[in-house]
Amino acid sequence: MVMADGQVLKDLLLQIRDTLIKTPQDLEVFLEGESIRPGIIVLINDTDWELEGEEMYELQNRDLITFTSTLHGG
Amino acid sequence: MREKSINDLAKELELLKLENRRLSELIATPTVTSRETSQETTPDLDLPLSLDEYKRYGRQMIVPQLRLNGQLKLKSAKILVVGAGGLGCPALYYLCGAGVGTIGIVDHDTVDISNLHRQILHSNKTVGMLKCDSAQKKLNELNPLVIIITHPVAIANDNVFEIMKDYDLVLDCTDTPATRYLVNDAAVILGKTIVSGSGVKTEGQLSILNFSQTGPCYRCFYPSPPPPNSVTACSDGGVIGPIIGLVGTMMAIEAIKVVTGSYTVESFQPFLSLYSGYPQQSLRTFKMRGKSPKCAVCSTNATLTRDMVESGAIDYSAFCGKVDYNVVDQRTERITVSEYTSLETKGCLLDVRPKEQFEICSLPGSVSIPLAQLQRCHSEDLKGLYEPLYIVCRYGNDSQLAARELRNKFGFEKVKDLIGGLNAWSQEIDDTFPRY
Ligand SMILES: [Zn+2]
């Protein structure tokens, strides 16, 4: 995804919401309000986003951002 | 040759050290008067294992990461495996084979034929038996030296501490968020490390929680539970047997590592591993957050206590919630399968199961629009539907959600859904219709 300079992870979440997500059902899988919904793990270059400043993390060129759901089955 | 003799000396030294420790312990324990008169030990070398154990565990003891010392630690370890299903079965099998001294199994369920593709301790012969008993039988056959303790109960607020207290390590092989929070809280409060695994469809996850009471716990990772409609169970989403089996196997590896001391408080790095079986197999290991200073159970600011769990003040099912399927009028908007068969006008029969399930078997003449698709479509996509409209799914839950959707969003009026779904159809109307 192409982002302008100086944008933070929160901007990416909103850009995904505005450009990639088509239906309200898909939106609620991803966001709760304007924040990531519980049960989704966000990784910045394979590191928990909590260690990187979460929504305020400043995006760098070639960052790999991964969203993955917690699994519960066993 | 010289190297070999140094190795031999080192080994001898190791044995002497162990011997020394044993003797010191014996002196310190006045009640022990006679040594176990193990027939197999030679008079001048008091071995810490029986000759059978040297043979049985030799192939893992000669691995530098494990060694004799690791074997002795395994032998004195007590591990609790919660859940003897897709994760628990392979984990139990390897831990038993590896010679963990005592293994506890918690599972209240009985073996069903639909478990067998992944729950490898159970078999055709043990269908209907308690999973605890089926697993114990298989494990005794594998390694009679291991003590297997069974707890054939549903783990719950009022028994979790009693069950868990005597074990050193807990494997969370359960399958719902509510149970995972319960197991986590009790283990944290009792100071036990948890090896946690999970999986569904083609993916699995693995982590170590509350490591030595210094690592992050389940609540540090997930302070709030996921919305219930985002939780997929193996029975709904399906799972490829070896995928969940691989995660269970990885859990056994982590358990062996924890017990034999391959992680230390200094070296342990919180992690979450994600295994994907498709399209190319991959294992990614993510570096995770540490303990949260705000964690409700493991932080210094913790508010959650054993009393609150045991008294039921913490209601795990309510905390995690569940999908509310009860969204239609149960008396006027639903129909039983036998009422449906006796209708003169059958109308339009809409099957809202996922397409993979529709493909396995379906009623003649039924139309397929999966619920997920129905929730995302526009009215022009539904032009093929007409009234009276009857909706069917697997068990009669999703059909209610679909009926509400069709009524409220698309203005259908004559809509009813079939109580009990195709499962009821197979039980009450046509027993040749497959239940899967
Ligand atoms: Zn915690």
In the block, residue with structure tokens 């997929």: B232
- The reply to whether residue A47 touches residue B286, judged by beta carbons under 8 angstroms, is yes
Tell me the one-letter amino acid at B45.
Answer: L
Residue pair B239/A72 in contact (Cβ under 8 Å)? The answer is no
Relative to beta strand A40-44, strand B78-82 is: unpaired
CB under 5 Å of ion ligand 1: residues:
B 217, 219-220, 295, 298
Q: Which of B85, B230, B239 sits opposite A39 (nearest CB)?
A: B230
Return the pLDDT at B24. Answer: 67
Total structural domains in chain A?
A: 1
Which pLDDT does position A49 carry in this prediction?
A: 98
Range B334-428: architecture per CATH? 3-Layer(aba) Sandwich (3.40)
Alpha-carbon distances of B219 from A65, B86, B187, B188, B223, rounded to whole Å: 23, 24, 12, 10, 5
* The pLDDT value given to residue B23: 63
- Surface-to-core class of residue B280, CB atoms within 10 Å of its CB (0-12 exposed, 13-18 middle, 19+ buried): exposed
- pLDDT for B54 beyond 70: yes
User: What would you report as the CA-atom Rg of chain B, rounded to the nearest whole angstrom?
Assistant: 27
B336 close to B417: Cβ distance less than 8 angstroms = no
Cα B92 to ligand 1 centre (Å): 26
Q: What is the dihedral of CA B261, B289, B246, B100, to 10 degrees?
A: 20
The residue with greater pLDDT, B19 or B321, is: B321
Burial of B365 (0-12, 13-18, 19+ CB in 10 A): exposed
Secondary structure letter of residue B278 according to DSSP: S
Higher-confidence residue of B322 and B306: namely B306
Query: Which region among B28-32, B130-134, B320-324 has the lowest average model confidence (pLDDT)?
Result: B28-32
Residue B252 and residue B95 in contact, taking contact as beta carbons nearer than 8 Å:
yes
Shortest Cα distance, chain B CAs vs residue A49, angstroms: 8
Point out the residue among B175, B234, B289 whose CB comes nearest to the CB of A48.
B289
Q: What is the reported pLDDT for B43?
A: 60
Question: Which tokens belong to B111?
Answer: 């073996």
Residues of B with CB under 8 A from a CB of A: 83, 85-88, 172-177, 180, 197-200, 203-205, 221-227, 230-234, 237, 239, 244, 272, 274, 284-289, 372, 375-376
Going by pLDDT thresholds of 50, 70 and 90, the confidence category of residue B36 is very low
For residue range B370-380, list pLDDT tens digits in order.
999 999 999 99
Q: How many Cα atoms within 13 Å fall on the side-chain side of residue B156?
A: 9
How far, in Å, CA of A61 to CA of A1, rounded?
10
* Mean pLDDT in residue range B198-215: 98
The yes-or-no verdict on residue B321 having pLDDT over 70 is yes
CA distance A47 to chain B (A): 5
Instruction: Tell me if A53 is assigned to some domain.
Output: yes
- Residue in B174, B284, B286 nearest the CB of A74: B174
Q: Is B384 buried (19+), middle (13-18) or exposed (0-12) by CB count in 10 A?
A: exposed
Of B357 and B1, more confident: B357
* DSSP code of residue B42: B
pLDDT class for A25, splitting at 50, 70, 90? confident
- By residue count, chain A amounts to 74
C-alpha dihedral, B152 to B153 to B158 to B163, nearest 10°: 20
What is residue B324's predicted lDDT score, i.e. its pLDDT?
Answer: 87
B88: left (phi over 0), alpha (psi -120 to 50) or beta: alpha
Residues B396 and B422: their CA atoms lie apart, in Å, by 8
Is B108 annotated to bind ligand?
Answer: no
Residue A60 placed within a domain: yes
Q: Which residues of B touch A47 (CB under 8 A)?
A: 286-287
Interchain CB distance below 8 Å, A74 and B173:
yes
User: Domain containing A65 — which CATH number?
Assistant: 3.10.20.30
Residues of chain B with CATH 3.40.250.10: 334-428
Instruction: State in Å, rounded, how far the first CA of chain A is from the last one.
Output: 34
**pLDDT per position as a tens digit, B92-136:** 999 999 999 999 999 999 999 999 999 999 999 999 999 999 999
Query: Rounded to an integer, what distance in angstroms lies between the CA atom of residue B199 and that of residue B120?
Result: 16
Instruction: Provide the pLDDT confidence category of residue B8 given band limits of 50, 70 and 90.
Output: low
B235 vs B383, residue with greater confidence: B383
- Give B384-404 pLDDT, tens digit per residue: 999 999 999 999 999 999 999
Instruction: Say whether B96 is catalytic.
Output: no
- The CATH architecture annotation of domain B53-320 reads 3-Layer(aba) Sandwich (3.40)
The span from the CA of B114 to the CA of B174, in Å, is 17
Q: Max alpha carbon distance in chain B (Å)?
A: 93
Strands, E assignment, B179-220: 193-200, 203-209
pLDDT, residue B1, reads 39
Residue B34: predicted pLDDT: 42
For residue B138, pLDDT over 60 is answered with yes
Q: In this complex, do A39 and B87 lie within 8 Å of one another by their Cβ atoms?
A: no
**Distance between Cα B298 and ligand 1 center (Å):** 4
In a domain, A2, yes or no: no
- Residue B415: phi, psi to the nearest 5? -125, 130
Q: Which residue has the tokens 């010191």?
A: B24
Q: How many other C-beta atoms can be found within 10 angstroms of the C-beta atom of residue B194?
A: 25
For A27-45, the pLDDT digits (tens) are: 998 999 999 999 999 999 9
- Do B50 and B72 touch, CB atoms closer than 8 A? no
B205 and A70 in contact (C-beta within 8 Å)? yes
Whole-Å CA distances, B86 to B96, B215, B408: 16, 26, 40
The catalytic residue among B96, B132, B234, B348 is B234
Mean pLDDT value of segment B410-415: 95
Answer whether B80's CB lies under 8 Å from B187's CB: no
DSSP structural state of residue B40:
T
pTM attached to this predicted model:
0.88
Write out pLDDT tens, residues B142-184: 999 999 999 999 999 999 999 999 999 999 999 999 999 999 9
Lowest-confidence segment of B7-16, B186-195, B317-326, B424-433 by average pLDDT: B7-16
Distance CA B382, CA B402 (A): 13
Domain with CATH 3.40.50.720 in chain B: 53-320
DSSP per-residue letters across B356-417:
HHHHH---TT-EE--HHHHTT--GGGGTT--SSEEEE-SSSSHHHHHHHHHHHTT---SEEE
Length reported for chain B: 436
CA distance B231 to B237: 9
* Complex-level ipTM beyond the 0.85 threshold: yes
Closest alpha carbon to B222 in A43, A69, A15: A69
Closest CB to A71: pick one of B173, B199, B287.
Answer: B199
Residue B30 predicted with pLDDT over 90: no
Residue A1 domain flag = no
On the question of pLDDT at B37 being above 50, the answer is: no
Which uninterrupted H or E stretch holds B285?
strand B282-287
Look at B332 and B92; give whichever has higher pLDDT. B92
Residue B234 annotated to the active site: yes
Single out the catalytic residue among B89, B173, B348, B393.
B393
Can you give the C-alpha Rg of chain A in angstroms? 13
